[in-house]
Structures are given as structure tokens and as C-alpha cells.
Structure 1
């Protein structure tokens, strides 16, 4: 949401959510989760399985309209900002309590902000405070600049947040699960900030393992690690429409085939990211396969640190012409997938319709390689094993297709495969791959969340000091993000997108893929989210 849009929403009362007092239809739902949450404190999390659980327990000042990536009021009924975009005043919903009975008010909002900002020691580790560092930057020790300046509460129904600069991603970023409002009382009682580094891992406090406390329609009940099950129960004191379900259980079932079998046997009622090859059989068996709108990007990443040939724009353009994206989408991705022309979907602001195109053309690829003196190009092509991502449902099949395209253009491919959490991400982040498969599912609907995340710093995985345009691109992205005028910001991002494809080409955009979620015929009311951020309060189970 842009600055002008936010102001218009504020003036209109932010299209205040009309939540009634229904609920209580009963029923229980069991969801087959692909993995165990790392913990239940979303501020210290960056994994989807943690967020899937905490999203039911906690709420933010803003949320996302069901079934969309559009911001709407949640615990803040409306907001407005100063002309310079640095001061944001949130008018809070009244009569809301945390699950432990603590009042939600302006003081609670500021205590949450100060808790995030005041992290020390292990709490400042990127592995823990990832979303704070990515969106706000530094902490109160001043070691690095921070977007956040301060928070004040002039009264119980108001919280004013001061920023150090204007940014297009505010207040949208407050809809991220990491910035959910949590009970100050519970956090103090169960020592929420007492996280410690233990070797290569972390030890979490009692709050994060057993006492997560929010304002949402479900409350945390238990985590039975022995039986790999997390149980939530309906919050009968919820401020809005009560959840229809009596309780909600997440069973941890890492194997996708086992999740499918459990659905067929009635052991679970739903699971995420079914194999595209199983969709017809799932539908034929009477299940409902809900296909989300694609709000993601898969790309062929290019690292320029170790292979000097890749620093030549002509070589990167040759890679773009070599890959057959149309065939990739048709043969390897689920129904509804689309060829990507740039690095985010066309529903995001700043999308430019006139970016440079790279049609599949092996002859042109060979010509460009020859012009660059790289006809004998050899690439270490990394692909991830033991993983399924929303944008990358079949990593090995996708790799095989792209590797064959590159070979057709005369490029020698050395295949390197490692487990996603067993060396792949580490190698990609440390620039050991020449080219690699990666992608992103949007957290919220702003350009900065996509291309700002990918290319906003000159020392990330896509380019190094060997790329003279790295700092220039980062500066262009910062300038666009800080522009408070909607129309000027739109034009700035459009120009960045044009240059990304014509002048820079740090990666090759491949596709947007619609990830699916499957539920049994007994499940009613599930609304698929393009953010893969489904909420279960409106769901019921019959029979």
C-alpha cells in the first residue's frame, strides 16, 4: 500500500472490518504440516511452519484481506502519517485482550516495538531476528542504522511510531507474522528475550516453547513433540467473530506421499503443496484442491564472484536466451503457472510492461558467448534436494530441463546438488555456485519486498565488487523505496525494472507458479491465500 493509499484508507476509517459475534459451530481440523516449527515466538522465526501456527494465535496492527495480498485493518482500526512519511499514528481497536487477560492498548504496542528494537546478544543474530533486520535494519545499540526511531502512546487507544526515513513498505510490513502483537505480561513472565546461542543452534526461553500469547481467534494449548502434534483451541473471548472450529491440530508429517495417504485414510483433513502429479487423483477422490494466485518468482541466479565470464553482460544475456521458459512452464510446473518477464508479478506496483525480452534462441545465445570470448563456458549449476518450494515444486525436473537448454547453447554444465538445509543455501549465500535455482514468495504487496530483498545491497549473493553497477542498483532501489509520492515512486520502480533486464541482468526470471493446498470434502470455508498465509478461524469440518 502506498503513502497516498494509506492516507485515503485512514480518511475513510480504513474500511473497518465488520466482525460479528458468531462462531462455535464446532468441529475439529487436523492439518498435515511438512515440518515442525522452530519455536512459537514469531519474532525469532523465519520459517513457514512456525508462521502457519502463530498466525492463528496472534494478530498485527495490520493484516491482509482474506484471499489477497492487500493490507487491511486488524488491531489498528485506522492510521495516518505525516507528510514526510516518518510519523505514523495508529488508532487502536478497543476492548481487545490478550489470551492471558492483559489489555491490548497503546502501551502494549510500544512495548512490542521496544522489545524488537532492544534485542541484544543472540537476539541480534540474523538467524533469529531475520525479518527485523531485513525490514528495519539495526537495533538500539546504534551499531547499524535502523528504520525504527521510537514509539509513544499518548493514550490507551493510540500508538505513534516514528521512523528515521520514509519507506514504501510501511505499514504493510507490520502484517508480517514476526511483527504480531504479543502480551507484554506473558513475555515478561516467561522471559521471552532470554534466547541464547548454544554452539551452532539456539536455546529458547519458556515463552517461545510453551506460552505464546496473542489476541487471535485460537489459543495455544499444547505441543506434543513425541507425537509430533501441535494443538490449538478456540479463544472464546475473542474480540471479533469466534472461530468455527473447537480446536485445530497440526500433525507434523515431513513426507509428502505420507501426507497424501493420511488425507486418503482420514488421518488429516488438509495439507499443503501437493505434488502436481497427484492433483487429478486427489480431485477424483472427492477432495478439493485450492489453487492460490501466484505471488512468487522463481529465477536462475547468477553469481559473478568466481567466474569472470559471468561479469560480462553478454554472457548473462546468453543464459537468458538459452533457457526455454515457455517449455519449462508447460512441462515442469503446475497448471496456471506463467512465464516471468521480470522479478515480481504484474499485480505489484512498478511493474513495467516494456522491459527487454529474452526469447528462447540457442543460436543467439551462442553468438553472444562468442562475442564475449566465452564459447567454452563451463558452469557449476546448483539445484536443491530434499525440498519443495511454492515456486519450485520439482527442483530436479526443473534443473534437468534448464541444464539441457544450456547444453544446447554449447555450455558445459557441472551439476551440484545438496539438501536445502544441508549445504545448498549455505553454498549459494557464500557464492560457491555459478548459477543456481532460487525464488521468493512475497510477504506483502510492495516492490521493495521483492527486488529490494534480492538486490538492495551490493554485497548479496547476486553480485560483488566485481560488478561496478552493484552500488548503483542498490542506490536506485533505496531512492525508489523512500519516495513518498505514489506516482513518482511507481515511475522510479518501473525504470529500475527496465534496467534490471537491460543493463544489469543479475539473474534470469523464470516463472510464477500457483502453489496448491488440498482439503478433504468435509472441510468448508478455507480461503486460499497468495501469501500462503491461510487463516483457519472461518473453517468448519462436517461429518
Structure 2
């Protein structure tokens, strides 16, 4: 989710600027939507463009916000929460080992192209992903498949993980059985991901006729994923138009939807990449809602009568350290010094909305596995100086990369947050060389490749399991971090293999304690991102996972 995360980096790195999308001229809607235009269209502004209309090829929150309205997975999360509930599967179960998963599917479900949903359709999707070849095996294209199910029927990339997916069997029309080779902490949560949402078998046949291609680091996505017309899910909306020039995606209510019908006929997602621009568009009545409200704007909008609900905390913002980029970072004292030098509380108080928290580890306290026994690094400039002296690095010089042209749930004002941390580090005697880079693809490419000694990134959880946080970064060597510490990797992976839920939580706590003894980076904060709606809107339940269901939206 999913929301940009270090994993999301992989898919977005190659996703060239593609626009979001809508139908008519929103300016005709009138002030606050109260004048002019009908009430059949809801316009929502996000901070960035989607990369694909096929969620299987994506790993970023802006893409998933769009596709989630049109595609459904076997499992979902309860509206407004993080509890797993039935999606296209009404019920699910596994064998005691966690290697055989049985899904009892909903009956009477149709795809947008009229095809019937059944167990054979489920298996067609999983087998389609498992048999990907060529550029589809790039982690930039199939990040989530590889994260959840491992590699492919025939790995062509030596860096591709060992496949964990074994098979899918349609036991009968309404029962699908998915087998994996080894139990995984990513299941059953992974079955809820948009990247594993179910597509029409007829659409899959068209997908298979097209290839993704790569030239150097640039990836060209298949045509079907870049224009409306071919993709077909089972969701309450179907995607009908992608106007990249206007940065708008348009969806239309699917009247044959199996569940509660969408309350508004047309749904439009528009890209407005600045906080001020989104706020002004809402105040002008050009849009009906937007995401990632600047903390300073929350009280202003509430005072003007807008609905500005705040999501629960389910993300982490951190400063990453790439040891392979700067040898000084290989010294524990240097990493500890940088941790002590940064004033986390100051960032929370000045940069985050009310409810933000300073972080002590690489997951928020809302995730099972959070430990209150980790080694902490309180803000202490003098302690930082002492540690640098002990390491022989009193005159440390280091490059610090930060992103531009972006707002993320965990990072509302990247440059402001960077400037505060730069000043903190310089007070400790560290000479910081700033390097500003455009978010996509430059910054994401650079951080993924380990090209930045220090950098700022974050993660919004996909589901409530500790491995979805610490496993993302510390299950094995990663260029972003540039270190190879068996103790850290073993602790994280050992936790992922514990099948007893209570035992797994305790193992995650131990893993967090091991990680923070090693201190590979600096967890900074966790933030409750706000979302805003016009005065005449009945908003959807807001989700800590940023998984809002816009079929719940209506006009007053």
C-alpha cells in the first residue's frame, strides 16, 4: 500500500509519469459542488499519477487507490479498519502447517466484461502471474508477486527469489485451493493485496498477448495497462477512461455488482501534486475531496466547514543509511551518533498532524510485534559528538538525498523535514551535502540502487503483520541498506516462520530489539494522514491502510 514503501519503490521506479484521470470539466461543478453540474460525479484529488490500470504491475498507493474501486481480492480489510474479512472469498481456512489455503467463493459474482467469477478464474490469475516471463519478472514490475509468492515457474533472473507458489486447484466452481511450498508470515494477509486482485479470464487472455519491455532502467508497460478498455475486475466501479493529458481517471458504477451498489454514478481521480493546489481546488469547488492534507491546513478547513477525518497511525517514516555508499556508516558508533543527533520530537511537533508520534523502531505501535524494550537513541547532540569522536569521525562528511515533487502519508513536507534533520546533524559536527531529486523515477531509482548515503523514505502497511514492515527491509541483503548482518536477517526470518500467532508476535518483538541494537537506519515518526471532503459530501470510512472504498461516498 502499500502507500509508497521501500518495496513500492521498485515498481514506481520504472513507471514513467503517467496521468490520473476524469471526465467533464470540474470547474462547472460550482463552489463546494453546491452550484452547477449534477451530483452524479465525485471528483477526488491524489498527490500523484497511477502507473498502471493493472494492479498486478504496481506497488504504489496512488495506483491502488484507483484500481481498488474496480478490482477485488480474495480477502479484503473491514471498512475503516485493518481486520481481514471476506472479499471474493466468503470464508477461508488453512491446514495446520499454513501451506494449503482453501477459499469458499461468493456465488453470483460477475466481471465487468460479463464473465462469471468462479474458482477457475482464481486459478487462472495465480497461474498467469506464476508463469510470467521476460520483463514481467523484473522486481520493478512484479514486486508484490515476488514479495508474497516468491519467483516464477521458470526464473530467468538470477536475483529472482525461490518460488513459494506451488499450485491452484479449482476443487469445484465455488472452492479454490492455493498451495505454497513453505508457510509464510505474508499469508493470509497477502491474499488481500490489490496486486493479487482477481481479473476476468477473458481479460487475462488479452493481457498474455502483450509484453512489458525494458531498455536499461526504463520499462515500457503493456498497452492494455495504460488505457481503459481491456482490464476487467469485479468491483463496484469499472474503469472507463484514462485521460493522461488532464491527469484524470474516470470510473463508472458497475450496475451488476454483487454487493452494495456505489452511491454515486461516476468517480474521477485527478492528480494535483501540491498540498496547496489540492486545498485550493477543494475550496474553489473544483473537486469533492483530496488526500494528504497539509497539517497546517487541517484546522483551517475544519473551521470553514469541511470534513477532515484523520486516519489511524499505520505507517513509519525513516532515514535510511546505505553503508556501501559511505564506509563511515559501517561503524556502529556513527550510526548511533546520527540516531542521537536527530530531534524526532521536534519533527513530530512541527511537521506532522495532531496524533503523530516519534518512532523507536521500524513499525508503529499499532502493529502487533511492536516492542517497548528496544534500544532507544534520544535526541542528544553532545552524545552524538562523543560517539563520532569515538569512531574517529569528528569531521564526517555525508551526502543526504531528499525527494521533491511529492507528498506522502508519512512525509507531508519532505524539504522542510529534510532541512530540520540537516540542521540537527550539522549541530553534531556532521557536514551534510544535500541532494534534491525528483521523486519518480530519479529518487526512487537512486535509493533502490543504494546511491544515497542518507535518504528519507517510509512505508504504509498493507496488512497488520509485523513482517509486512520489518520483513520488507531486513529479511536479507538490500541495496538500499548496503549491509549484510546475519544476526538481523536471522531474527526477522525466524519470526516469520513461527506459526503460532502469539509466538510470532513475541518473535517480532525480539527481531525489533535486534534491529535497533544494530541500528541500520533511524526510524523517525509515525503519522496519522488526514483526508478532506467538501461540505456536501458524506465521506467513506477512512482507512488506516489508506484503502478507502469510494462506493460508500454520497452527496448530502
TM-score after normalising by structure 2: 0.89
Q: Which residues of 2 match residues 65-80 of structure 1 at below 5 A?
A: 65-80=78-93
Return the alpha-carbon distance in structure 2 between the equivalents of residues 407 and 226 of structure 1: 43
| Contact preservation (8 Å) 1:57, 1:219 | yes
Return the alpha-carbon distance in structure 2 between the equivalents of residues 413 and 317 of structure 1: 17
Superposed CA offset, 1:457-478 (max 9, x none)? 223311335xxx2x33222222
Structure 1 residue corresponding to 2:180, chosen from 160, 163, 182 = 163
Structure 2 residue corresponding to 1:475, chosen from 474, 483, 490 = 490
Alignment correspondent of 2:549: 535
Alignment correspondent of 2:318: 299
Give the match's secondary structure for 2:511.
Answer: helix
1:309 aligns with 2:322: no
Moved more, 145-154 or 453-462: 453-462
Q: What's the CA shift for 1:264?
A: 1.4
Return the alpha-carbon distance in structure 1 between the equivalents of residues 79 and 208 of structure 2: 30
Return the alpha-carbon distance in structure 1 between the equivalents of residues 446 and 251 of structure 2: 38
Q: What's the CA shift for 1:175?
A: 1.1
Q: What's the CA shift for 1:281?
A: 2.2
Return the alpha-carbon distance in structure 2 between the equivalents of residues 183 and 415 of structure 1: 48
Return the alpha-carbon distance in structure 1 between the equivalents of residues 376 and 70 of structure 2: 45
1:209 aligns with 2:227: yes
Return the alpha-carbon distance in structure 2 between the equivalents of residues 315 and 262 of structure 1: 45
| Contact preservation (8 Å) 2:466, 2:505 | no
1:516 aligns with 2:533: no
Structure 2 residue corresponding to 1:345, chosen from 356, 364, 367 = 364
| Contact preservation (8 Å) 1:463, 1:506 | no
Alignment correspondent of 1:131: 144
Structure 2 residue corresponding to 1:485, chosen from 487, 500, 516 = 500
Return the alpha-carbon distance in structure 1 between the equivalents of residues 81 and 209 of structure 2: 33
| Contact preservation (8 Å) 1:168, 1:448 | yes
Alignment correspondent of 1:180: 197
Structure 2 residue corresponding to 1:460, chosen from 474, 479, 498 = 479
Moved more, 442-451 or 412-421: 412-421
Q: Which residues of 2 match residues 200-349 of structure 1 at below 5 A?
A: 200-206=218-224, 209-210=227-228, 211-349=230-368
1:145 aligns with 2:162: yes
Q: What's the CA shift for 1:208?
A: 5.3
Superposed CA offset, 1:309-357 (max 9, x none)? 2111121111111111111111122221101111111121211111112
Return the alpha-carbon distance in structure 1 between the equivalents of residues 441 and 172 of structure 2: 50
Alignment correspondent of 2:10: none
Return the alpha-carbon distance in structure 2 between the equivalents of residues 413 and 254 of structure 1: 28
Q: What's the CA shift for 1:54?
A: 1.0
Return the alpha-carbon distance in structure 2 between the equivalents of residues 239 and 90 of structure 1: 18
Alignment correspondent of 2:48: 35
| Contact preservation (8 Å) 1:293, 1:530 | yes
Give the match's secondary structure for 1:288.
Answer: coil
| Contact preservation (8 Å) 1:192, 1:205 | no
Superposed CA offset, 1:13-54 (max 9, x none)? xxxxxxxxxxxx974211123333222111112232221111
Q: What's the CA shift for 1:254?
A: 3.2
Return the alpha-carbon distance in structure 2 between the equivalents of residues 118 and 372 of structure 1: 50
| Contact preservation (8 Å) 2:533, 2:539 | no
Return the alpha-carbon distance in structure 2 between the equivalents of residues 307 and 32 of structure 1: 39
| Contact preservation (8 Å) 1:443, 1:449 | yes
Superposed CA offset, 1:79-136 (max 9, x none)? 1111111111111111111122211111111001001101011211222111112222
Alignment correspondent of 1:59: 72
Report the CA distance shift for 1:115/1:100 in structure 2 as closer, same or farther (over 3 A): same
Return the alpha-carbon distance in structure 2 between the equivalents of residues 177 and 111 of structure 1: 16
Structure 1 residue corresponding to 2:131, chosen from 88, 107, 118 = 118
Q: 5+ unaligned residues in a row in structure 2: which ranges?
A: 1-37
Report the CA distance shift for 1:170/1:406 in structure 2 as closer, same or farther (over 3 A): same
Give the match's secondary structure for 2:550.
Answer: coil
Q: What's the CA shift for 1:149?
A: 0.7
Moved more, 168-177 or 305-314: 305-314
Give the match's secondary structure for 2:220.
Answer: strand
Return the alpha-carbon distance in structure 2 between the equivalents of residues 120 and 167 of structure 1: 24
1:355 aligns with 2:374: yes
1:95 aligns with 2:108: yes
Give the match's secondary structure for 2:281.
Answer: helix
Report the CA distance shift for 1:455/1:197 in structure 2 as closer, same or farther (over 3 A): same
| Contact preservation (8 Å) 1:192, 1:206 | no
| Contact preservation (8 Å) 1:192, 1:208 | no
Report the CA distance shift for 1:243/1:119 in structure 2 as closer, same or farther (over 3 A): same
Q: 5+ unaligned residues in a row in structure 1: which ranges?
A: 1-24
Return the alpha-carbon distance in structure 1 between the equivalents of residues 132 and 139 of structure 2: 12
Superposed CA offset, 1:282-313 (max 9, x none)? 22222111111111101111111132221111
